[in-house]
């Protein structure tokens, strides 16, 4: 063995479930793969003349953290203009938008709007009209599935009444049929978006490059991208032409209602395409929308009589699409938030055993994303179906409250809100649980997310009451969600997710030990560095 790099650290958590072995404090890397693990004494025997040695001292090293649900390119569109994530009241919202209005004479844009900030005030274009005047305005709500447009924007888009769509989308209108400005789901928002001036390719490439570097600085070495487009491919190719991406990216283009088998065939052809550190590896589908918008798919209506319909007007076509991809060994990931939506996805995946050859089924991973409220019987069915759960702990801790006074909980009622984000129950029955952020819906920094998964409240806010505290993960389970379980959620456990000889040399180095440090303290601590293919992607200056 002639290692290119040796990394030393007082604590190394290998996450190797099959061969835990003795305590490890040294890892040798050769040609981007892990060549040996052992003690500091062993490392002295491995080292050759040209071997680079990085000694992290009393730091902790783990397999590289992977965010199981992000939208870096799509997020470029979702994060234009005023950041409203910190606006807790309507007064806060209007203050931020007034400061943003009129900056360049173009559109007033904003993102991250929390409907809880409006209190009892209706989400209505007149609220935006107060601060925008004749300037068109388009403000995205935090869930990414809805937006509020002002009167001028509706006029420019020629929106004067309701629309019929091929998917579950809505131009919300009042009792007189006049649009309120609230646009639900992608097809409705696109009516306005197509009139908004777009950034240049160079601007978007620069923004994406900086975002990916921010991901690496936060501790991420990989991400599962839940969207893809021709532009995504072009941006990744352009960035790779200038050097390596700082993390691995695994994309999943969308399969939408009404697309048909010709489109499914085209999507299937894209599987396996990509570059050095990015590739298209799965298909993303939606079976419902969001609870906050009334577009989730529930067994029973919410308190407003909403969230009763699937995203695919004919759910059997969704099931046919899943069968099409599964029979070809193509992984799927389905957005399913409500109980009826999750039930339908499980039913579709359970039926695969009757139509997909066993060897194809065994090697293909299928996932459900989000899973916000489900009863006990659906939790049990995950294990039997072999379905992976992919969840975002901060959706719970950032947008709901223990007293159920938030919009999400109020719409569902106490019983269904009490089934919020059942991370622990899924783990306890043996389900693989990948963890992520859904950036830009919630912040991407993994350390606070790992902490929130254990606390069931926002890290750094000990005054807040935990939300469904019985669903708290252990420190190990939370870390697994970003490492070993993240690898399993992508069907990559044989090549990543643990510090094991022969696997990829992707690592994250921490100032504090994620398994022994109090969650609030860990959330506020530093990431010391990240490695991908055994190459340093980020390192704190004091260690470089």
- Please report the pLDDT score of residue 104 as a whole number: 61
Among candidates 331, 320, 453, which has minimal Cα distance to 386? 331
Element of type H or E holding 279: strand 278-280
**Mean pLDDT score, 1-12:** 95
Confidence of residue 167 (pLDDT cuts 50, 70, 90): confident
Confidence of residue 153 (pLDDT cuts 50, 70, 90): very high
- Please determine, for residue 493, whether its predicted confidence score (pLDDT) is greater than 80: yes
Conformation bin of residue 466: beta by default, left when phi > 0, alpha when psi is -120 to 50:
beta
- Please determine, for residue 216, whether its predicted confidence score (pLDDT) is greater than 60: yes
Q: Are 78 and 71 in contact (CB under 8 A)?
A: yes
- Please report the pLDDT score of residue 542 as a whole number: 64
- Please report the pLDDT score of residue 543 as a whole number: 65
| CA separation, residue 466 to residues 216, 398, 410 (Å) | 30, 11, 17
Element of type H or E holding 127: helix 125-132
CB atoms within 10 A of CB 272: 10
Residue ranges of the chain that CATH labels 3.20.20.140: 66-72+201-527
- Please determine, for residue 544, whether its predicted confidence score (pLDDT) is greater than 60: no
Cis peptide before 297 (omega within 30 of 0): no
Residue ranges of the chain that CATH labels 3.10.310.70: 107-193
Among candidates 230, 463, 225, 238, which has minimal Cα distance to 333? 225
pLDDT digits over 269-310, tens only? 999 999 999 999 999 999 999 999 999 999 999 999 999 999
User: Between 422 and 362, where is the model more confident?
Assistant: 422
Residue whose entry in the numeric block shows the structure tokens 């990015």: 278
Spatial separation of the C-alpha atoms in residues 513 and 528, rounded to whole Å: 12
pLDDT digits over 88-136, tens only? 999 999 999 999 987 666 899 999 998 889 988 889 999 999 999 889 9
Compute the CA torsion angle 237, 495, 56, 58 (nearest 10 deg): 140
Per-residue 3-state assignment (H helix, E strand, C coil) for 413-440:
CHHHHCCECCHHHHHHCCCCEEECCCEC
What's the mean pLDDT when you consider all of the chain?
A: 95
Q: Which fold has domain 107-193?
A: Diaminopimelate Epimerase; Chain A, domain 1 (3.10.310)
For 27, residues 6+ apart whose C-beta sits below 8 A from its C-beta are 6, 7, 12, 34, 36, 37, 61, 499, 505, 507
- Please report the pLDDT score of residue 355 as a whole number: 86
- Would strands 535-539 and 278-280 be described as parallel, antiparallel, or unpaired? unpaired
**What percentage of residues in the chain have a pLDDT greater than 70?**
98
3 phi and psi, to 5 degrees? -70, 145
Compute the CA torsion angle 160, 164, 165, 166 (nearest 10 deg): -170
| CA separation, residue 38 to residues 14, 18, 28, 353 (Å) | 11, 16, 9, 43
For the residues of 208-250, what is the DSSP string, one character each? HHHHHHHHHHTTEEEEEES---HHHHHHHHHHHHTS--SSEEE
- Please report the pLDDT score of residue 105 as a whole number: 65
Spatial separation of the C-alpha atoms in residues 356 and 327, rounded to whole Å: 5
**66-72+201-527 falls under which CATH superfamily?**
Metal-dependent hydrolases (3.20.20.140)
Confidence of residue 19 (pLDDT cuts 50, 70, 90): low
Spatial separation of the C-alpha atoms in residues 405 and 352, rounded to whole Å: 40
User: Between 530 and 19, where is the model more confident?
Assistant: 530
Spatial separation of the C-alpha atoms in residues 314 and 80, rounded to whole Å: 34
For 13, residues 6+ apart whose C-beta sits below 8 A from its C-beta are 60, 61, 62, 479, 499, 513, 514, 515
**What percentage of residues in the chain have a pLDDT greater than 90?**
90
Q: Which two tokens stand for residue 447?
A: 């350390």
């Amino acid at each position: 063995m002639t290692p290119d790099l040796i990394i030393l650290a007082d604590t190394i958590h290998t996450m190797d479930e099959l061969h835990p072995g003795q305590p490890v404090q040294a890892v040798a890397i050769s040609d981007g793969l892990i060549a040996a693990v052992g003690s500091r004494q062993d490392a002295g025997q491995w080292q050759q003349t040209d071997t680079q040695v990085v000694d992290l001292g009393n730091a902790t090293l783990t397999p590289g953290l992977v965010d199981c649900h992000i939208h870096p390119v799509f997020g470029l569109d979702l994060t234009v203009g005023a950041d409203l994530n910190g606006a807790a009241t309507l007064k806060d919202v209007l203050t931020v938008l007034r400061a943003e209005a009129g900056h360049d004479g173009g559109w007033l844009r904003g993102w991250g709007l929390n409907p809880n900030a409006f209190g009892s005030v209706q989400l209505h274009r007149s609220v935006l009209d107060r601060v925008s005047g004749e300037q068109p305005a388009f403000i995205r709500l935090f869930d990414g599935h809805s937006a509020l447009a002002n009167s001028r924007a509706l006029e420019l888009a020629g929106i004067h009444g309701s629309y019929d769509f091929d998917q579950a989308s809505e131009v919300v209108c009042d009792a007189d049929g006049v649009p309120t400005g609230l646009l639900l789901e992608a097809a409705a928002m696109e009516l306005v978006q197509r009139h908004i001036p777009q950034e240049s390719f160079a601007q978007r490439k620069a923004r994406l490059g900086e975002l990916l570097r921010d991901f690496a600085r936060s501790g991420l070495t990989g991400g599962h991208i839940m969207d893809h487009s021709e532009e995504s491919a072009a941006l990744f190719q352009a960035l790779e032409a200038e050097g390596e991406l700082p993390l691995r990216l695994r994309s999943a283009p969308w399969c939408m209602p009404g697309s048909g088998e010709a489109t499914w065939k085209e999507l299937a052809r894209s599987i396996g395409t990509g570059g050095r550190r990015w590739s298209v590896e799965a298909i993303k589908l939606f079976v419902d929308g969001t609870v906050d918008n009334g577009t989730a798919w529930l067994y029973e209506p919410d308190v407003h009589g909403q969230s009763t319909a699937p995203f695919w007007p004919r759910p059997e076509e969704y099931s046919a699409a899943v069968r099409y991809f599964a029979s070809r060994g193509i992984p799927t990931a389905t957005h399913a938030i409500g109980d009826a939506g999750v039930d339908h996805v499980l039913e579709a995946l359970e039926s695969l055993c009757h139509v997909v050859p066993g060897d194809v089924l065994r090697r293909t991973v299928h996932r459900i994303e989000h899973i916000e409220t489900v009863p006990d019987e659906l939790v049990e069915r995950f294990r039997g179906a072999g379905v992976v759960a992919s969840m975002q702990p901060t959706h719970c801790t950032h947008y709901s409250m223990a007293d159920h006074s938030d919009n999400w909980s109020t719409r569902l009622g106490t019983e269904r809100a009490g089934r919020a984000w059942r991370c622990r129950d899924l783990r306890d029955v043996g389900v693989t649980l990948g963890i992520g952020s859904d950036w830009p819906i919630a912040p991407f920094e993994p350390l606070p997310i790992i902490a929130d998964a254990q606390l069931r409240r926002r890290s750094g806010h000990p005054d807040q009451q935990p939300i469904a505290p019985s669903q708290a993960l252990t420190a190990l389970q939370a870390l697994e969600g970003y490492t070993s379980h993240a690898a399993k959620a992508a069907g990559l456990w044989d090549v990543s997710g643990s510090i094991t000889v022969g696997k990829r040399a992707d690592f994250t180095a921490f100032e504090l030990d994620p398994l022994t440090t109090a969650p609030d303290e860990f959330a506020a601590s530093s990431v010391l560095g990240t490695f991908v293919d055994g190459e340093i992607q980020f390192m704190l200056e004091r260690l470089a």
